[in-house]
Amino acid sequence: MAIVLPDGLLGNDRFEFVRQYILQRAHLIAIVDCPVETFLPTVDTKTSVLVLKKKAENESQTFDVFMAIGKTCGHDRRGKRTYERDTDGDLVYDVQGKPKEDNDLDAIAKRFIEYAKSKNVYD
């Protein structure tokens, strides 16, 4: 399961019971810190994605936790598309000659898939 949660829920002492509930019932497989712009301009909430795997009865297996910080999501605070730029400030183009969207969440997703395969997370 993957779930998007507000960072306030994850970091606030008053919501420790939520974290305990999750950890009692599931293995924490991954945490991805999303850029603040992810849900802007409509929702101004800082979020993270948690990837969980339901625990079996009396299961003691543990996993390393995949962690990543997303810095870009393909748009700015106003919803305007953003594009990758090189060190000189020039646009970077893909193989089709189109400007590459500045979105590192796609690369994080690919790294997570490789991680999950290498750790046999879903076997």
User: Tens of pLDDT along the chain (123 residues)?
Assistant: 999 999 999 889 999 999 999 988 999 999 999 999 999 999 999 999 999 999 888 777 777 899 999 999 999 999 999 999 999 999 999 999 999 999 999 999 999 999 999 988 877
The reply to whether 82 falls in a domain is no
Q: Residue 109 corresponds to which amino acid? A: A
The reply to whether 37 falls in a domain is yes
DSSP state, 65? P
The reply to whether 13 falls in a domain is yes
Measured CA to CA in angstroms, residue 51 lies from 2, 5, 65, 112, 114 at distances of 4, 11, 9, 10, 14
> What's the chain's Rg over C-alpha atoms?
17
Report the C-alpha gap between 84 and 104 in whole angstroms: 10
State pTM to two decimals: 0.87
The reply to whether 17 falls in a domain is yes
The reply to whether 28 falls in a domain is yes
The reply to whether 43 falls in a domain is yes
The reply to whether 86 falls in a domain is no
Count of domains in the chain? Answer: 1
Residue 7: predicted pLDDT: 94
Residue 66 and residue 50 in contact, taking contact as beta carbons nearer than 8 Å: no
The reply to whether 34 falls in a domain is yes
Range of the domain at 51: 2-71+106-118
Measured CA to CA in angstroms, residue 13 lies from 16, 19, 51 at distances of 5, 10, 21
